[in-house]
Amino acid sequence: MLVIVAPGQGAQTPGFLVPWLEDPTFAARFDWLSTVAGLDLAHYGAEADAETIRETQIAQPLLVATGLVAALELFPHPADAYDQVGAVAGHSVGEIAAAAGARVITAEQAMVLVRERGKAMAQASAVTPTGMTAVLGGDREDVLAAIDKHGLTPANDNGPGQIVAAGTLEQLAAFAEEPPAKARLVPLSVAGAFHTQHMEPAVGHLAGLAQSVSVHDPRTRVISNRDGKVVHDGRDVLARIVGQIASPVRWDLCLETMADLGVTGILEMPPAGTLTGIAKRALKGVETFALKTPDQLEDARAFCAKHGESSGMETTPTWRIVVSPAKGTFHVAAEAADADVLPPGTTIGEIASLRDRSAITAAHGGRVVEWLVEDGDLVSPGQPLLRLHPEGGQ
């Protein structure tokens, strides 16, 4: 199985777009998304210095635009992607690129959302001096206890040996004076405490805009930063993107879901390297491909063909599939077990795992065609549970 991942803020480096912009088609598409964003993103990706592209309102649109246009280079016929890509995921702002790649939102909607996200987060960061520090190594429980002791938030849990603490500069200074045992602290060059309560004003702004965004259900599995669950409802994908601004990134749980799905290959969109590096440490035996420059495209397509497998989540006009968000045991809800027609939003059951219990709803409702699992069955992330015929369809 192939998973495509999109990196988050901090992956950008000065001049990383130079070789990509030599292709006139890439440059023209990039110029279009730059126009939507209202920023000269080609300048920032090719000529600006590190300090400039570190700015939140620049870095975020730059990353999303790069991922979206590079995806069209990788899959010149976009429909072909859904015969190969088993799932998509994005780290932090990369979730917006992943959502557009799964056709939940359009590229233009993605650029408006990321433009407003970047500006709102920059404004929220200016209210109180805050920052982030990577904690490398150390015992996981000791690290989390030390973060909590100093009133910080584990804003990014990126997997074994890498947790990012975020909070005020005073809290981070106290944390640095009393670090967890056997851990190394690395202050990050970011403008604020992203994915913490300090970003709540940005959540409110984006939530207001999101009310006017039309969405579609994903064409492939979307793995959410919030909890590693597979999301198959477009409205839920968008709501999670909004709430994620002030919520921790649980990339460790995303990696667990990839393992549960049986991933064999992970390809990271440019500017690549960060997420494939994490995957190499966390998912032993899984092949990775960091797409950094256009001269790798032929090899990248071969990598996709090698690991490609359709997710099976493609919707049709005649029926819909409800899928499992996680690995666990399926328990059917009494009100759904014998129903012929399910109203939109009906709870059909829940998935119970060692970690938690997840309610499953039929977001659109419809007439029950067939149950694809039985009560008590073990299921995997993205596994079809129920087939529905839309009410009013022919």
178-211 pLDDT, tens digit per residue, is 999 999 999 987 889 999 999 999 999 999 999 9
Tell me how far apart the alpha carbons of residues 96 and 241 are, in angstroms, rounded to a whole number.
7
The pLDDT assigned to 333 comes to: 95
3-state helix vs strand vs coil in the chain, percent to 5: 40, 20, 35
Catalytic site positions:
92, 195
User: Could you tell me if 37 and 43 are in contact, meaning their C-beta atoms sit under 8 angstroms apart?
Assistant: no
CB of 175 closer than 8 Å to CB of 134: no
3-state secondary structure of 85: strand
Please say whether the beta carbons of 226 and 257 come within 8 A: no
- Buried/exposed code over 314-329 (b: 16+ C-beta within 10 A; e: otherwise): eeeeeebbbbbbbbbe
Half-sphere exposure of 18 (CA within 13 A, CB side): 7
Closest by CA to 99, choosing from 244, 254, 270, 222, is 222
**pTM across the whole model:** 0.87
* Tokens read off for 48: 């600006």
Q: pLDDT tens-digit profile of 133-154? A: 999 999 999 999 999 999 999 9
The tokens of 207 are what?
């939530």
pLDDT (average), residues 127-137: 95
Q: What is the pLDDT of residues 317-376, one digit of tens each?
A: 457 889 999 999 999 999 999 999 999 999 999 999 988 899 999 988 899 999 999 999
Q: Domains in the chain, ordered, with CATH?
A: 2-124+197-307 (3.40.366.10), 127-187 (3.30.70.250), 320-389 (2.40.50.100)
Q: Which DSSP string corresponds to 221-290? A: EEE-TTTS-EE--HHHHHHHHHHGGGS-B-HHHHHHHHHHHT--EEEEPSS-SHHHHHHHHHSTT-EEEE
With 60 as the cut, is the pLDDT of residue 250 above it?
Answer: yes
pLDDT band per the 50, 70, 90 thresholds, residue 79: confident
Q: How far apart are CA 15 and CA 18, in angstroms?
A: 6
Task: Kindly report whether the peptide bond that precedes residue 317 is cis, defined as omega within 30 degrees of 0.
Answer: no
**Residue in 13, 79, 22 with CA at minimum distance from that of residue 50:** 13
